Amino acid sequence: MTATIDALPDLLSPVRFHQVGKTFGTGQKAVVALDGVDLEVSAGEFVCLLGASGCGKTTLLNLVAGLDRPTSGRIELNSSRPAVVFQEPALMPWLTAAGNVELPLRMAGVPKAQRRAKAAELLELVRLAGLGDKRPHELSGGMRQRVALARALASTTDSGDAGKPSLLLMDEPFSALDAITRDVLQGELLRIWRATGTAILFVTHDVREAVRLGQRVVLLSSRPGRVVRQWDVNDAPDAVDEINTALRKVISSHAA
């Protein structure tokens, strides 16, 4: 089958992977990053993706975001355009916080008054009300990541796909932050997830973070990445030790 990204009407799953593979390069230099990945995220579900460094987590998110294409298999996408929050907030330095949040709305052609109001609402949601006129360099790392989250929410809620489930992709968004800020933002993200009902696919190295945030934790094997195990952590909140053991096994098989 050719590698395609289809938009099929299935309201239950904003994204579904069917035997997805991704190889970079060709011949002897080829790197098989992902191989035979089957994964589904349900509407409103919070899924955390764990795996060793280099196992293909970012590659997987990039495929969902449409930043890259699979070399085999198929990704069925049935969400509003997925928004991505990266490890570094990647804000436009010349725009204010509000200007950054408004950017996806501006690109979608939302009229000025409407996007102002939406940006103010989202800045309040991430607890930055009153800081909309600050530029990124005037904000702390945690505040910048909140702006990036508000911007991502702006692009998922106003991409002209009303009625489709929204999907937020997060690639180790809190790993550059200190432990206390990270803890606060994890709590904020859970609050925002409950308030917005968006599905989230969240990549992390941190088992505790995965178990705290996710309803389901998915472990990828070392390269090539494929789903090796999943835990429903709603039912097993004390799964940290078990997941740690499985992650260590995956990492040591890679080192061997």
Site for ligand ATP in 220-249 (CB under 6 A): 223
Which partner in ligand ATP, Mg ion, none is near 223 (CB below 5 to 8 A by kind)?
ligand ATP
Mapped onto helix, strand or coil, the DSSP state of residue 89 is coil
In sequence order, what DSSP letters do the residues of 199-238 get, joined into one string? EEEEEES-HHHHHHH-SEEEEEPSSSB-EEEEEETTT-TT
- Please state, in angstroms and as integers, the Cα–Cα distance from residue 157 to each residue in 105, 109, 130, 256, following that order: 9, 13, 22, 45
Contacts for 96 with CB less than 8 Å, ≥ 6 apart: 132, 133, 134, 135
Strands 46-50 and 167-171, sheet pairing: unpaired
Site for Mg ion in 30-89 (CB under 5 A): 57-58
Check residue 221 for interaction with Mg ion (CB under 5 A): no
Per CB under 6 A, the list member of 59, 78, 79, 96 interacting with ligand ATP is 59
Per CB under 6 A, the list member of 18, 54, 181, 190 interacting with ligand ATP is 54
Which partner in ligand ATP, Mg ion, none is near 164 (CB below 5 to 8 A by kind)?
none
68/73 Cα distance (integer angstroms): 13
Which partner in Mg ion, ligand ATP, none is near 119 (CB below 5 to 8 A by kind)?
none
Other Cβ atoms closer than 10 A to 9: 6
> Between 57 and 223, whose beta carbon lies closer to Mg ion?
57
Which partner in Mg ion, ligand ATP, none is near 151 (CB below 5 to 8 A by kind)?
none
203/170 Cα distance (integer angstroms): 6
> Between 52 and 148, whose beta carbon lies closer to ligand ATP?
52
Which partner in Mg ion, ligand ATP, none is near 138 (CB below 5 to 8 A by kind)?
none
Helix residue ranges, H only, 96-222: 97-107, 112-125, 141-157, 179-196, 207-213
Q: Which stretch binds ligand ATP (CB under 6 A): 38-46, 56-64, 182-190, 192-200?
A: 56-64
250/136 Cα distance (integer angstroms): 38
> Between 48 and 125, whose beta carbon lies closer to Mg ion?
48
Site for ligand ATP in 6-45 (CB under 6 A): 24-25, 31, 33
**Which residue is it, tokens 């941190």?**
206
Residues that bind Mg ion (CB under 5 A): 57-58
Residues that bind ligand ATP (CB under 6 A): 24-25, 31, 33, 51, 53-59, 223
